[in-house]
Amino acid sequence: MTVQIDHALEEIRRFRPSPEFAAQAIADERLYDAASADRLGFWADQARDLLTWQKPFTEVLDWSNPPFARWFADGELNVAVNCLDRHVEAGLGDRVAIYWEGEPGDSRAITYAELTEEVKRAANALTDLGIRTGDRVAIYLPMIPEAVVSMLAVARIGAIHSVVFGGFSADSLASRIDDAEASLVITADGGYRKGRVFPLKPVVDEALAKAEGGTVKNVLVVKRGENDIAWNEGRDLWWHDTVTTASPEHEAQAFDAENPLFILYTSGTTGKPKGILHTSGGYLTQVAFTHKNVFDLHPERDVYWCTADVGWITGHSYVVYGPLANGATQVLYEGTPDTPHPGRWWELVEKYGVTILYTAPTAIRSFMKLGRSVVHNFNLRSLRLLGSVGEPINPEAWIWYRHVIGGGSIPVVDTWWQTETGAIMISALPGITDLKPGSAQVPVPGISVDILADDGTPVEGEDGGLLVITEPWPSMLRGIWGDPERFRETYWEKFGDKYFAGDGARRDEDGDIWLLGRVDDVMNVSGHRLSTAEIESSLVAHEITAEAAVVGASDETTGQAVVAFVILKERHAHDLDPSDASEELRRHVAMQIGAIARPRQVFIVNELPKTRSGKIMRRLLRDLAEGRQVGDTTTLADTAIMDIISAQVR
Ligand code: WT7
């Protein structure tokens, strides 16, 4: 993190929007004026303009019971109808909604009319399986069209989806199924990744054997990988027998604006992931608004591509709900960027004539490492806007993105937000804002943020502080599933009625905001959130571990990397080779949580640095992991300990 700040402080480049871009830009300076004149009126206008309500709302925000907000609460709408049927009714049925590309090279173009029909069939199938409004459906799928269909079908019948990223382990899936008390799991036999089929259904079987709640009645399975799977007669159903044969007629019911739409689990500061709850009307309003204005979406001519997996919030808001609510045409790609060759993404940009690309700094940095020759084999001239999300984008990567991918003159927008915020909160608006590499810049219209010191006083100027959101916003989380107290404690206790985001930030002399990384024990690896506590508890769950400490160390490609320090139990410390132990623990974490959590390094040590009260000083371990001079050790119970650990790590 420090490295990035150093660069950031030196960064002074600024890019005016080109007159050509500005002339056609969707966003309008007047949005800021309208929002600051009447914030609630502004959001009400957006909700009416961007969405179709079966019953119009009269009330905008109910904040009488903070921190539990209600937006547009007396209005009624159907989220899936807003993403599908209304476009077909408006005569856009033949527009391609999804250009899907499988990793092996198979592809499908799916129009709005076709997608609508498939979602109606799936909605009927879910209803036939007994799924009712408010029931939870877990979705554990690869990036195939059925993932989008499943989410929208659940939304269409007013049920709640909980998408679990396909890279998560059986344990992680089981705990999410249990926490949400899901009654149905939608999965696939397998999907393609790095040229191979990775199994999903077997992981679901294992998860259901582990899940203690026993809430799941059926497993709906898409055939994709053609891999061998076990079959549980009576519980398991094939998608092609169940959905494909269901009726394509489905009358959608309107639901309250505050009807829950989804739960999405994310890492917090404790070991247990939190189920972030989002609802319908406010969420859809803000994702549609930001998708349109931040990405300058001209749905009749743009081809948009967000590379995120639907297992993350970016996939929910900017693959499924935002783009489809806006009637966009988009690319959906199943596989990894480097299969079967390192230029695969750029080949897809050329093939589909992608105009808007939204991806993460970690991906950009891996392409930087490969060099521009990989990119230059393809014609990327269709691109006219680039977006970034997930972690601070260092100015070097920003400039490379703009020049090598974007040809040198197109806007790059860096968007700051979180699973909890549901939609983009801080970003430039292309065509309006002068762009500044490395800074997420300004709150989007209708959003108010501030930077506070620990005691709640505003921080002025260049000094860093804590980022807060000072007013409720339409797509804000409505709580943590089943745990209102944790919701209050995590986000609202620190500053009263202001939302504490968990990020450090500073404001420069132009009022632009620079994000400085997490201030809590949450790590950001390749734009994915991981909790130090969760990985530590996985490490100590292994029989050879006595104690473990995990830190996020800065990493050139992934932003941060997981680095663990482990003390082995006495009897294993002698008979185990440290490098074998370290390998075993890395494998164990990947198996328990998922491959994304696999530590880059596990150092086997004899001691951990602790304060007199027994608290592990992770700051010192981070210094070590990043190869820096170890900082102030005076508060350690035993000040010599860092020398011992350093010697063991080298
Ligand atoms: C955390 C949220 C939002 C979708 C992807 C991640 C970091 C996210 C940026 C950015 C600096 C960023 C923050 C935030 N983050 N975008 N543009 N600049 N930091 O969602 O998994 O909920 O993680 O990601 O630290 O708190 P998430």
The model's pTM: 0.93
Nearest CA to ligand 1 atom 1: 418
- The owner of tokens 């999300």 is 389
Mean per-residue pLDDT, 537-566: 94
**Predicted complex ipTM exceeds 0.90:** yes
Distance 3 CA to ligand 1 centre (A): 18
Look at the domain 526-649 and name its fold.
GMP Synthetase; Chain A, domain 3 (3.30.300)
pLDDT band at 1 (very low <50, low <70, confident <90, very high): very low
Distance 527 CA to ligand 1 centre (A): 7
Element of type H or E holding 29: none
- The owner of tokens 């830190």 is 551
Mean per-residue pLDDT, 375-397: 95
The 10s digit of each residue's pLDDT in 325-342 is 999 999 999 999 999 999
| 15, amino acid identity | F
Check residue 59 and give its pLDDT.
98
Q: Is the CB of 1 under 6 A from ligand 1?
A: no
Check residue 631 and give its pLDDT.
87
Distance 417 CA to ligand 1 centre (A): 5
Check residue 12 and give its pLDDT.
67
Q: Is the CB of 477 under 6 A from ligand 1?
A: no
Mutate to test the pocket of ligand 1, among 389, 468, 469, 512 (most ligand atoms within 8 A of CB): 389
Nearest CA to ligand 1 atom 23: 418
| 31, amino acid identity | L
pLDDT higher than 80, residue 108: yes
Distance 379 CA to ligand 1 centre (A): 30
| 497, amino acid identity | D
The encoded tokens of residue 315 equal 């996939």
Check residue 6 and give its pLDDT.
45
Mutate to test the pocket of ligand 1, among 391, 444, 449, 480 (most ligand atoms within 8 A of CB): 391
Mean pLDDT of all residues belonging to the chain: 95
Atom of ligand 1 nearest to the CA of 388: 17
Element of type H or E holding 392: none
Q: Where are the strands (E) in 147-257, listed by range?
A: 160-163, 184-188, 190-193, 196-199, 218-222, 236-238, 255-256
* Residues ≥6 apart with Cβ < 8 Å to 438: 4, 7, 8, 11, 392, 393, 394, 395, 398, 414, 514
DSSP designation for 44: H
The encoded tokens of residue 14 equal 């600024």
Q: What is the 3-state secondary structure (H, E, C) of 468-522?
A: EECCCCCCCCCEECCCHHHHHHHHHCCCCCCEEEEEEEEECCCCCEEEEEECCCE
Element of type H or E holding 362: helix 361-370
* Nearest by Cα to 520 from 541, 551, 498: 551
Q: Could you count the other beta carbons within 10 Å of the beta carbon of residue 39? A: 19
pLDDT higher than 70, residue 274: yes
pLDDT band at 4 (very low <50, low <70, confident <90, very high): very low
The 10s digit of each residue's pLDDT in 148-187 is 999 999 999 999 999 999 999 999 999 999 999 999 999 9
Q: Is the CB of 267 under 6 A from ligand 1?
A: no
pLDDT higher than 90, residue 441: yes
Check residue 562 and give its pLDDT.
97
The 10s digit of each residue's pLDDT in 13-64 is 899 999 999 999 999 999 999 999 999 999 999 999 999 999 999 999 999 9
Mean per-residue pLDDT, 305-315: 97
| Dihedral, 27, 29, 33, 34 alpha carbons, nearest 10 | -30
Q: Is the CB of 418 under 6 A from ligand 1?
A: yes
* Residues ≥6 apart with Cβ < 8 Å to 393: 361, 364, 401, 414, 437, 438
> Cα(416)–Cα(643) distance, rounded to whole angstroms?
39
Check residue 635 and give its pLDDT.
81
Distance 542 CA to ligand 1 centre (A): 31
The encoded tokens of residue 111 equal 């129009």
The 10s digit of each residue's pLDDT in 495-532 is 988 999 999 999 999 999 999 988 988 999 998 999 99
Atom of ligand 1 nearest to the CA of 424: 3
Check residue 634 and give its pLDDT.
83
* Nearest by Cα to 177 from 146, 150, 128, 210: 210
Distance 531 CA to ligand 1 centre (A): 14
